[in-house]
Chain A
């Protein structure tokens, strides 16, 4: 077991995703049991990246469905090519065309969900920010998540040719249904600790010096636990900050480079003001 987990971690590391033990174990179990994986956590902790890294690591195509308010079956699963059907009816006015013909393969437009289960090779299906979709859409997903099949009323039931590995992410802007949760393996991603953040920074920004990576990691760790900061910096923002410092040619964080680049980590003027007047912050970095 330990070997399998280490191999999985190494694969993810190879794709520049630094996974901890809990993440590796959960991912391994979810993949082995063919169970969808629901990932929650604050914005920017790397939820989406798990799916992307898994797809690259296992050399599977990534099919992504970005959720939003009002997303429905026609955007997520399939749509009949209405215009094409209309043209076909007009061209065959003299008869000779049955209604059933209008609901065949030829007129079916595949959307991400259908595409992922009709794919011959197994894919990684990322259903991103499921909390932004409506509750109805969540209910519609249940059949896919538990049975790996979908039903199209005019066409019939489509059973998965290959079992996709499904990753759902949520920022928890609304509670998800119990039914959806029960069908998934669950992972809550915390912000990485300083050690892991240094590894992430160095993996994603190869030219970054160890000293600067350490300072940035310590600084964002401090900002995340500070009650004065309302918008906590994400991993992506830490990477942006490191990149900005690199672009400035800074070897280490000092007053000047901090003033010039703190806006890459904090996106709120009050937060910046509070932190710049906080002596503890400077001590934490050094």
Chain B
């Protein structure tokens, strides 16, 4: 059991500055910290009203400050309303409320680490000297040297030792050489450290995967992405069903059925019957760009759309790059075979011709577009022959009920893309670069 109170007040923050505590006004310090903590949670997007804050303080009054875990559980129960909010809460809590023991341990560990870093920086200056003067490196590179693994530092020192004699004979020549060897190693190491930091952030949580650019997913993350898609579509379907039910239920009495039911009770209307509205599933035509850079995105989008319960089973899918191919519906029943299917289709991995693809959709016989269909284009809008693409898109938007363009490129970059500026006015283009954006776009479809 760890105590929070030691850092603030030995009297559980109730003394109001009694003079017996190490701190002058412990209650104020704690209160101030709580207020800043709640404000930071709000800044992270959590909705915390006065009532929650008040309840949190009541909860703290109940649990006291003796047990850090209990304090965390109590505050979290009141302030965090979803699992994602719980994760945000935990991260901030760890930063704000350190136990006295942890605080002391951290302080000691940091002091030790700082001393070690300083020692290694000095080591760099002492190892690399020309005429008794250290070779100059930027401060950030000195830090990189200090953070390097021991083996890497030993390797660099060996190189310096090997050339130390030659350095005395031709200092200018060898100074440049050694400096370049060191710089290369240090910059490489800097990159490794940055990647490691990024990797640590990326592995953080599912939430992070939902908000990361799909094109940056590593191969090892793809199965997890599929699971996330399943979870999210389950949620979307739940919301859609609830919405459809609400819209389908009508308060209007069905007089005909009520009177008919009343005949069995001698005309007394014992059982009231209400009118119901029938729901109609949407028919979707998907045009999927499967050029090499787009296949992953198209697969994710198809998985999303196919899982939506409001989408008709009779929906049609076309794959395109320079050529177009209508997908055999049986081939995509098992989405785990999608990548193999696309690779063997002959369409995969070529350039992009959106105009030709749209023309093929328009020319399909029997026609696939109609007032009741939604045409979904999954593409980054980078295409040859934009005039042809624009003309075909105008025609398609007249024939289809609506045209939705799901674009994996972030909206901020659209202004620099010629294809987007030409095609966007003729359809409803939505940015779908992350799983979260893709899920939101799919939810809006139905």
Contacts and interface: CB of A to CB of B under 8 A. Distances in A.
A186 B67 contact: no
Given A33-B59, A175-B239, A188-B83, A25 B74 contact: yes
A136 interface: yes
Contacts of A90: 268
Interface residues of B, number: 44
Contact of B238 (A28, A30, A131): A131
A182 B238 contact: no
B73 interface: yes
Interface string B60-84: 0011101101100110111011110
A196 to B, nearest CB: 16
A70 B245 contact: yes
A284 interface: no
Contacts of A69: 241-242, 245
Contacts of A172: 235
Contacts of B67: 1-2
Given A25-B63, A181-B82, A185-B77, A33 B55 contact: yes
Scoring B52, B77, B272 by chain A CB atoms within 10 A of each residue's CB, the highest score goes to B77
A40 B83 contact: yes
A82 B1 CA distance: 60
Interface in B256-285: 268-270, 272
A29 B63 contact: yes
Contacts of B83: 40, 188
Q: Is the interface of B mostly helix, strand, loop or mixed?
A: helix
Contacts of A188: 83, 86
Contact of B70 (A2, A83, A185): A2
B62 A182 contact: no
B227 interface: yes
A25 B69 contact: yes
Nearest to A188: B83
Nearest to B245: A69
Contacts of B73: 21-22, 25-26, 29
Contact of A173 (B64, B70, B234): B234
B333 to A, nearest CB: 14
A274 interface: no
Contacts of A21: 69-70, 73
A180 B58 CA distance: 20
Contacts of B345: none
Interface in A169-199: 172-175, 178, 181-182, 184-188
Contacts of B62: 1, 28-29, 32-33
Contacts of A28: 62-63
A73 interface: no
Given A1-B64, A1-B66, A28-B62, 14 more contacts: A2-B1, A5-B70, A22-B69, A26-B77, A29-B62, A33-B59, A40-B83, A69-B245, A70-B249, A172-B235, A174-B241, A175-B239, A182-B47, A184-B81
Interface of B: 1, 47, 49, 51-52, 55, 58-59, 62-64, 66-67, 69-70, 73-74, 76-78, 80-83, 85-86, 223-224, 227, 234-235, 237-239, 241-243, 245-246, 249, 268-270, 272
> Which are the 3 A-B pairs with shortest beta-carbon distances?
A174-B238, A181-B81, A25-B73
